[in-house]
Structure 1
Amino acid sequence: MSDPEIEPELPRGIALAWGIAAHPQRGPKRELSLERIVDTAVEIADEGGLAAVSMSSVASRLGFTPMSLYRYVSAKEDLLLLMNEQAMGVPTERVREAADWREALRVWCHDQLEMYRRHAWMLDTTMSTAVTTPNNMAWLDAGLGALAQSGLTEHEKVAACLMMMAQVRWQAQIERGYRSQAEALGGDTEALDRQNASVLRMLVSEAEFPYLRRAVDAGVFHPDTEGDPFTFALHRSLDGIEKYAAERPAAPEPEPVDPPEVVGDKRVKEAIKARREAEKTLRDARKREREALQHARERAVRSPK
Structure 2
Amino acid sequence: MTDDLDLPRGVALAWGIAANPQRGPKREMSVERIVEAAVELADADGLGAVSMAAVAKKLGFTPMSLYRYVTAKDDLLLLMLEEGTGVPTHAWRETDGWRAKLAVLYREQVGLYLRHPWLLAIPVTGSPVTPNSSEWMEAGLTALDDTPLTPEEKLAVTLAMTGQARWTGIVLTGYAEESRRSGRSDDEIAAREQALYEALITPEAFPRLRAAAETGVFRSRFNPFTFGFERTLDGVESYIAGLERGEPHQRTDEWITLDDAEVADDKRYRQAAKAAAEAEKAVLQAEKALRQARKLQAQALKEARARAGI
Q: TM-score range by the shorter chain?
A: 0.7 to 0.9
Deviations 1:43-96 (A, max 9, x none): 100111111000000000001111111111000000000000011101110111
CA distance 1:250–1:120, change in 2 (3 Å): farther
Deviations 1:180-239 (A, max 9, x none): 2222321433322211110011111111111111111111111xx242111111110110
1:287 aligns with none
The root-mean-square deviation of aligned C-alpha atoms, in Å, is: 1.9
1:271 aligns with none
> Following the alignment from structure 1 to structure 2, what is the Cα–Cα distance between the partners of residues 250 and 57?
59
Contact 1:81/1:130 (<8 A) preserved: no
> Following the alignment from structure 1 to structure 2, what is the Cα–Cα distance between the partners of residues 238 and 19?
37
> Following the alignment from structure 1 to structure 2, what is the Cα–Cα distance between the partners of residues 250 and 90?
36
Q: How much has 1:147 moved relative to structure 2?
A: 1.0
2:137 aligns with 140
Output the amino acid matched with 2:72.
A
1:40 aligns with 37
5+ residue gaps, structure 2: 247-310
> Following the alignment from structure 1 to structure 2, what is the Cα–Cα distance between the partners of residues 228 and 102?
19
1:19 aligns with 16
- 1:75-154 alignment, distance < 5 Å: 75-154=72-151
Output the amino acid matched with 2:228.
A
Q: How much has 1:161 moved relative to structure 2?
A: 1.0
> Following the alignment from structure 2 to structure 1, what is the Cα–Cα distance between the partners of residues 207 and 178?
27
> Following the alignment from structure 2 to structure 1, what is the Cα–Cα distance between the partners of residues 3 and 108?
38
Contact 1:185/1:191 (<8 A) preserved: no
1:278 aligns with none
1:268 aligns with none
Instruction: Pick which of 132-141 and 173-182 moved more.
Output: 173-182
2:262 aligns with none
Contact 1:152/1:250 (<8 A) preserved: no
5+ residue gaps, structure 1: 252-305
SS state of the match for residue 221, structure 1? Answer: helix
Deviations 1:101-139 (A, max 9, x none): 100000010100001111100101123245310100110
2:165 aligns with 168
1:209 is the counterpart of 2:200: no
Output the amino acid matched with 2:217.
V
Q: How much has 1:250 moved relative to structure 2?
A: 8.3
1:28 aligns with 25
Q: Percent of aligned positions with the same letter in both sequences? A: 48
> Following the alignment from structure 2 to structure 1, what is the Cα–Cα distance between the partners of residues 122 and 208?
36
Output the amino acid matched with 1:53.
V
Output the amino acid matched with 1:146.
A
Equivalent in 52, 57, 61 of residue 55 of structure 1: 52
Number of matched pairs: 246
Q: How much has 1:6 moved relative to structure 2?
A: 7.8
> Following the alignment from structure 2 to structure 1, what is the Cα–Cα distance between the partners of residues 30 and 245?
49
Deviations 1:249-293 (A, max 9, x none): 489xxxxxxxxxxxxxxxxxxxxxxxxxxxxxxxxxxxxxxxxxx
Contact 1:41/1:83 (<8 A) preserved: yes
CA distance 1:129–1:39, change in 2 (3 Å): farther
1:290 aligns with none
1:67 aligns with 64
Contact 2:113/2:173 (<8 A) preserved: no
